[in-house]
Amino acid sequence: MRVAMYYNNSDVRLEEIPTPEINDDELLVKIIASGICGSDVLEWYRIKKAPIVLGHEIAGIVEKAGANVKDFKPGDRVVVSHHIPCNTCRYCLAGNHTVCETLQTTNFDPGGFCEYVRVPKLNVELGTFHLSDDISFEDGSFCEALACVVRGQRKANFKPGQTVLVMGSGISGLLHIMLAKAGGAKKVIATDIDEFKMQQARECGAYEVFSATEDIPARVMECNDGRGVDLIIVCTGALSAFEQAMDCIDRAGTVMCFATTTPEARLAVPINRFWRNQVTITSSYANDPYDLREAMELIGSGKIDVNKMITHRFPLAETQKGFKLMAKSDNSLKIIIEPQE
């Protein structure tokens, strides 16, 4: 079968490898739509494992089902999660599924940017979901990204009526804007350095959108009755955004680190002020099966319109073009790879 083999952001090659063989407990899924995630072009992180077939935002059709698989059959439309928690360790039992060792080591084979993936037994049992006929394969490929956002806002203890600042208006930032709006946020403010993404934030419902080059704490105070916001969600890896967040949060507020920086980056936290004002700093990584089910419901119900975020579609042979666009972040949002084209 054909795969898009990643060597670095500027070197993604169309290659041939054997189509995976499945055992009696596994599935072979024909991929119809596979989204490029911002983490796919996080080169400092990805290049350590190169060459590799990346891609984890997939939707497709069951091609083959093992003899012991009861819930899925050939022809079923599905969404498949790549990382799956065990649901039995101390972390899972405490509700912290995304720090489970199993979740951080599971994956489907080989990756989403290819024609077919082998779905291991645990992923079949806990991470494969029927895709209803009213959700397109393209929209289904957003389930993983939206599930991460759902988990992030739950971990941040988001409540209706809160004011929210979303820093970074790429895909995750826009999904956070839409989810906060759908969840009853009083006001959502957004930032970015790119005018295209700033306009997208406006179209997704942001009350105010500021350039990240401005004095963000001052602008936030101006549009929020002279106080900081209740919840800040940092969706960019720029350290400056994390630093700005420290001065934009209200008393008893929460700063959610949804994105990450490079490993060596350090953030100075005003401990005394945060102690006195009871500010919470937290983070969120990945999602669990519960989050993905909720994401599917949000997409299927129309509460979150993900399709309008698709700016580019490429066949598998042109995956390199998609990576270059995503890495440059130039007038692009969600890029869908169509492996069967």
Three-class SS of 309-336: HEEEEEEHHHHHHHHHHHHHCCCCCEEE
Q: What is the DSSP letter of 52?
A: B
Digitized pLDDT (tens) for each residue of the chain, 341 residues in all: 999 999 999 999 999 999 999 999 999 999 999 999 999 999 999 999 999 999 999 999 999 999 999 999 999 999 999 999 999 999 999 999 999 999 999 999 999 999 999 999 999 999 999 999 999 999 999 999 999 999 999 999 999 999 999 999 999 999 999 999 999 999 999 999 999 999 999 999 999 999 999 999 999 999 999 999 999 999 999 999 999 999 999 999 999 999 999 999 999 999 999 999 999 999 999 999 999 999 999 999 999 999 999 999 999 999 999 999 999 887 999 999 999 99
Q: Residue 315: is the preceding peptide bond cis (ω within 30°)?
A: no
- At 224, the amino acid letter reads N
Helix (H, G, I), strand (E, B) or coil at 273: helix
Distance (Å, rounded) from C-alpha 65 to C-alpha 151? 30
Which uninterrupted H or E stretch holds 8?
strand 2-8
- Look at residue 330 in the predicted model and tell me its pLDDT: 79
Nearest CA-CA partner of 178 in 311, 294, 298: 298
Say if strands 163-167 and 187-192 run parallel, antiparallel, or are unpaired.
Answer: parallel
Question: Which position has the token pair 């992030």?
Answer: 152
CA-nearest of 280, 277, 232 to 259 is: 232
Q: Which helix (H) or strand (E) holds 48?
A: none
Q: Which residue has the tokens 């934009």?
A: 248
pLDDT of 287: 97
Write down the pLDDT at residue 190.
Answer: 98
* Tokens matching residue 200: 């997208």
Give the chain's domains with CATH numbers: 2-147+287-338 (3.90.180.10), 157-283 (3.40.50.720)
Task: For residue 233, give the amino acid letter.
Answer: I
Q: Taking Cα atoms as reference points, which of 172, 171, 201, 170 lies closest to residue 188?
A: 201
Query: Exposed, middle or buried by CB within 10 Å (0-12, 13-18, 19+), for 194?
Result: middle
Amino acid in the structure at residue 149: V
What pLDDT score does 156 carry? 98
Distance separating alpha carbons of residues 312 and 251, to the nearest angstrom? 41
